[in-house]
Amino acid sequence: MEVSVLLWSGIGYLSGSILFAQIFATLFHRNITATSVDHNPGAANAFRYGGKTVGILTLFGDIAKGWLPVFCYYSVLNQADSGWFVLVLVAPVIGHAWPLFTGFQGGGKGVAVTFGVLLGLLPVWQPVVILAGIFIVFRTVVHISPDYVLTAMSYVLATLCCWLFVPTVLASAMSVITIIVLVRLFFSDEPRTKMEVEIGWKH
């Protein structure tokens, strides 16, 4: 394994371990994890329970902490052919899910961080467009609820599409990220309500 892989994987994990929702909620005197249903320190709850300012700052922070290590490794070092690149890609999501700075407890699901990681691959655009496109379809054309089901289905379908349309290394990374997100969803405190599917144009 290359030293650069270990270095940027470590940086990515530490970057992912920074829970911006908690930081900005504290700065703006909010308590997201205590008031939210699932106690998840992520961007969605930051908007929902912390307000627009906390939500926007958290969203950009979570995207940036996934983007930075991947961008530096992929663009600056230009070493994306090795299978070890998977470690660099998944490290920020692992950090967000099981953050070092909180004793590996209280992490988030990693959706915004995932988008940051995939944006770090640009100009390789397929992975981020696939995931974003599926989320958009499930929000506008086919309405799936509750949110944890929508998220799980989006990640699984995006992973299958990645195996068809993107290089193996990136598809492998997306597979690992999906497993992490599914584990976090499974152990989430979000209430388990009945799945509902509605066609968007019938609303």
Q: What was the pLDDT predicted at 201?
A: 58
Q: Where are the beta strands (DSSP E) in the chain?
A: 142-145, 196-199
Q: How far is 107 from 97, CA to CA, in rounded Å?
A: 4
What pLDDT, on the 0 to 100 scale, is given for residue 1?
A: 58
Measured distance CA(24)–CA(55) in Å, rounded:
9
Number of domains in the chain: 1
Residue-number span of the structural domain to which 189 is assigned: 3-202
CA atoms within 13 A on the CB side of 76: 10
pLDDT below 50 — which residues of the chain?
203
pTM for the model stands at 0.91
